Copies of this chain bind each other. A is one copy, B any other.
Amino acid sequence: MSDNDQRLGRLARTRARLQECALDLFERQGYDQTTAAQIAGAAGVTEMTFFRHFATKDRLVVEDPYDPLIADAVAAQPRGLPPLTRAVGGLRAAWARLPEPASDDVRRRVRIAAATPSLRAAIAANNAATEQILVEQLVGDGADPDAASVAAAAVLAGITAALLRWSQRDGAALADAVSAALDTLEARR
C-alpha cells in the first residue's frame, strides 16, 4: 500500500481502487464489454459495494466539473450583450481562472467517452446541471429565458465536442482546444 493510499481512509481507498481498475478494464476491453461485477471483482470487492461508491457505471468516467466557478464568471460578464456572447465570455474567463487539471487523467477519461457512444448520453445528462446554472445566471441578469436556454445548451455542447476531439490528439493543450471552441461559438473562425 503506497503512502498516498495510507492517508486516504478505507472509503476513499476502495473508491480509488475501483476507479483505477475500471479505467484499466475500459481501456483494455471497452466500456460496454466491462461489467460492474467484473470491476468489483478486480478491486477485490462486491458488486453491491461498487454501487455504493458509484451510483451508476458511467460515473466512473464522467465527473462533475466546476459549476459554481462558471456561474461566477458569467455573472462578471458585462450586461447588455447577447446571451451567447455572454456565455462564451464567461466560459473563457472561468477557464482562465481554472487550475490546469491533471491533463493526462482527464484525457484518459474523455478518450474512453469518445470511444463509447453509449457514454455520450451520460455526458449530456451531466451537462444538464451546468446548463441549468448557466441559464439561471443569464436570466437573472436580464436575458430572455428562451435565448438563455439555447445559448447555454449550445456553448456546453460545443465545448464537449471540442473535448472529445482534443482527447484523440496527442500532446495538444486542453486550454487551446477550449479556446478555439469558444472562438468558433462566436463565429470568429
Q: Which chain A residues have a beta carbon within 8 Å of chain B's beta carbons?
A: 82-85, 117-118, 120-125, 128, 131, 144-147, 149-162, 164-165, 177, 180-181, 184-189
Contacts and interface: CB of A to CB of B under 8 A. Distances in A.
A95 to B, nearest CB: 15
A131 B160 CA distance: 13
Contact of A165 (B83, B145, B162, B185): B145
A124 B147 CA distance: 19
The winner among A82, A144, A149, A154 for most chain B CB atoms within 10 A is: A154
A187 B155 CA distance: 12
A161 B149 contact: yes
A144 B83 contact: no
A177 B124 contact: no
Contact of A187 (B82, B159, B189): B82
Contact of A146 (B123, B150, B157, B181): B181
A43 to B, nearest CB: 27
A146 B186 contact: no
A85 B187 contact: yes
Given A117-B128, A122-B121, A189-B82, A153 B147 contact: no
A138 to B, nearest CB: 11
Given A146-B181, A147-B180, 5 more contacts: A82-B184, A120-B124, A123-B124, A146-B180, A153-B160
